[in-house]
């Protein structure tokens, strides 16, 4: 697809603006909604192509669902699509979080969205399960891949680090088809830095330039869930610099969790607390900038990997492990989402609707939100 095609660019912008507004539930839900839109509804990609992009995002640090949006934009409309998809996915969430940060700064509390999420979360679980089934047909093409996925899922639920599981799955599939040296070479190319250096003594006042640099560092080295993000933020902004209190940090992470779009917009909230609107913009740009750089650098090589027998074997292992990790997150989310009879009924109804007819996942999320708000009255 020509990156200068205005029709493709408009399609990319419209899709990711919509997902930026309706994408509740975190990375697994975002990826499931993207798959619904770009594979099932619009047919921009096949399930195999989508899986290869998903595998690639798991090998680089940064926010997975944002990187998936950037990859899809690149695939559909070239480098211009890369920028447009990422910006359109991030900006709606950033604006929502900015409004909440202003409210927090003025009134000292964040508005809650408990009843809205009460109805949305069960719907999201069903949407993710539907995506897992469809992607599983493409990813688990052989018995060894299915066994590998089951083993990764069990180990993840037992508490084993997800990056270690991805690396082990990649090496195992490569060793099954190629000599050991190639597996070592492939794994050696993966980033090894899992955390940046600790900062020195705290400065007397907030520096927007230092804040921007910290968020760039976090975006460039962070693997894992929102809990890992919390650890990075606490280390830098609470412990080393003393710019935030523990309560402010937890409020910032909570806002990132219950608003739509990328969880990394937690940075927007922190940036606003530290430097107003300019601080919010700098923090958001800093934490997401590495994702654009990493995707631009790796995207051209994904199709070449699929053509190489050794690299394709490794990619199959990454895809199977990625799917298993997505399933593990869904199990954890399901425990928190389906908590009583009403949430079970919402999940069942959403499952029946998806089973009987192809419904837009964003519309289903909106219906869940309405039900949650009605039940909370």
Task: Look at residue 258 in the predicted model and tell me its pLDDT.
Answer: 67
Q: What is the pLDDT of residue 167?
A: 80
pLDDT of 196 higher than 50: no
Alpha-carbon distance of 210 to 200, in angstroms, equals 12
Does the pLDDT value for residue 12 go beyond 90?
Answer: yes
Collapsing DSSP to helix, strand or coil, 265 comes out as helix
Least confident of 25-39, 88-102, 307-321: 307-321
**Is 219 within 8 Å of 288 (Cβ atoms)?**
yes
Phi-psi region of 242 (alpha: psi -120 to 50; beta: other; left: phi over 0): left
Q: What percent of the chain has pLDDT over 90?
A: 25
Q: Which of 33-47, 112-126, 241-255, 360-374 has the lowest mean pLDDT?
A: 112-126
Q: Residue 267 and residue 222: Cα distance in Å, rounded?
A: 13
The winner for highest mean pLDDT among 97-101, 184-188, 373-377 is: 97-101
What average pLDDT does the segment 289-297 reach?
Answer: 93
Q: What pLDDT is stored for residue 92 in this prediction?
A: 92
SS3 state of residue 266 = helix
Q: Which residue has the tokens 């994408």?
A: 23
Res 194 pLDDT > 50: no
Q: Return the percentage of the chain with pLDDT > 70, whole number.
A: 81
Q: What is the pLDDT of residue 186?
A: 41
Written as six digits, the tokens of 198 are: 């600790």
Q: Give the residue, 147 or 311, on which the prediction is more confident.
A: 147
Q: What is the rounded CA–CA span in Å between residue 97 and residue 280?
A: 9
**Residues present in the chain in total:** 377
Q: In whole angstroms, what is the distance from residue 77 CA to residue 169 CA? A: 32
**Which residue, chain included where needed, has tokens 């099954």?**
176
Residues 155-159: what's their mean pLDDT? 86
Q: Measured between alpha carbons, how far is 125 from 29 in angstroms, rounded to an integer? A: 8
Mean pLDDT of 52-79: 88
Residue 361: pLDDT over 80? no
- Say which range, 178-192, 244-258, 301-315, has the weakest mean pLDDT: 178-192
Q: Determine whether 324 is exposed, middle or buried from the number of CB atoms within 10 Å of its CB (0-12, 13-18, 19+).
A: buried
- Those residues with Cβ within 8 angstroms of residue 67's Cβ, 6 or more apart along the chain or in another chain: 57, 60, 291, 294, 295
CA distance 253 to 95: 16
The pLDDT confidence band at residue 175, using thresholds 50, 70 and 90, is confident
- pLDDT, position 94: 93
Token code pair at residue 173: 């599939």
Where does the pLDDT of residue 14 fall: very low under 50, low under 70, confident under 90, or very high at 90 and above? very high
Tell me what pLDDT residue 192 has: 34
pLDDT for res 201: 37
| 233-290 pLDDT per residue, tens | 887 888 888 898 877 887 777 677 667 888 889 899 999 999 999 999 999 999 999 9
HSE toward the beta carbon, residue 139, CA cutoff 13 A: 29
**Which tokens hold the place of 138?**
């493409």
DSSP alpha helix (H) spans, the chain: 6-22, 27-35, 47-58, 64-107, 114-139, 143-157, 162-177, 180-188, 208-221, 226-233, 246-258, 266-307, 309-337, 341-356, 361-375
Q: Is the pLDDT reported for residue 198 higher than 60? A: no
Closest CA to 81 of 144, 28, 8: 8
pLDDT at 293 over 90: yes
pTM beyond cutoff 0.75 = no
Mean pLDDT of the chain: 80
Which of 48-62, 66-80, 104-118, 265-279 comes out lowest in average pLDDT? 104-118
Tell me the C-alpha distance between 209 and 54, whole Å.
33
CA–CA dist 85, 97 (Å, integer): 19
Looking at residues 142-147, what average pLDDT do you find? 88
Residue 212 CB neighbour total at 10 angstroms: 21
Start-to-end CA distance of the chain, whole Å, equals 48
């Amino acid at each position: 697809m020509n990156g200068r095609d205005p029709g493709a660019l408009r399609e990319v912008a419209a899709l990711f603006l919509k997902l930026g507004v309706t994408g509740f539930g975190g990375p697994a839900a975002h990826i499931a909604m993207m798959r619904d839109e770009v594979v099932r509804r619009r047919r921009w990609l096949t399930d195999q192509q989508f899986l290869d992009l998903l595998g690639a995002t798991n090998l680089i640090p940064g926010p997975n669902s944002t990187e998936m949006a950037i990859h899809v934009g690149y695939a559909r409309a070239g480098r211009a699509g890369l920028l447009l998809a990422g910006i359109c996915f991030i900006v709606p969430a950033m604006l929502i979080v900015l409004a909440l940060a202003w409210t927090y700064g003025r009134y000292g509390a964040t508005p809650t969205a408990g009843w809205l999420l009460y109805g949305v979360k069960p719907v999201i679980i069903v949407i993710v399960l539907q995506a897992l089934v469809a992607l599983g047909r493409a990813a688990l093409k052989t018995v060894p891949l299915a066994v590998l996925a089951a083993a990764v899922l069990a180990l993840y639920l037992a508490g084993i680090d997800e990056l270690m599981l991805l690396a082990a799955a990649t090496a195992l599939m490569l060793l099954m088809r190629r000599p050991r040296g190639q597996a070592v070479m492939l794994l050696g190319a993966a980033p090894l830095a899992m955390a940046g250096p600790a900062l020195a003594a705290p400065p007397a006042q907030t520096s927007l330039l230092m804040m921007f640099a910290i968020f760039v560092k976090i975006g460039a080295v962070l693997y894992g869930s929102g809990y890992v993000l919390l650890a990075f933020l606490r280390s830098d902004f609470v412990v080393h610099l003393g710019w935030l209190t523990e309560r402010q940090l937890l409020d910032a992470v909570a806002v990132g969790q219950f608003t739509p779009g990328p969880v990394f917009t937690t940075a927007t909230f922190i940036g606003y607390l530290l430097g107003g609107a300019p601080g919010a913009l700098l923090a958001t740009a800093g934490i997401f900038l590495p994702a654009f750089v990493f995707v631009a650098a790796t995207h051209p090589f994904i199709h070449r990997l699929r053509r190489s027998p050794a690299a394709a074997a490794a990619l199959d292992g990454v895809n199977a492990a990625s799917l298993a990790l997505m399933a593990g997150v869904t199990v954890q989310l399901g425990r928190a989402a389906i908590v009583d009879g009403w949430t079970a009924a919402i999940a069942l109804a959403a499952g029946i609707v998806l089973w009987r007819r192809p419904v837009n996942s964003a519309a289903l999320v909106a219906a869940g939100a309405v039900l949650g708000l009605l039940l909370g009255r």
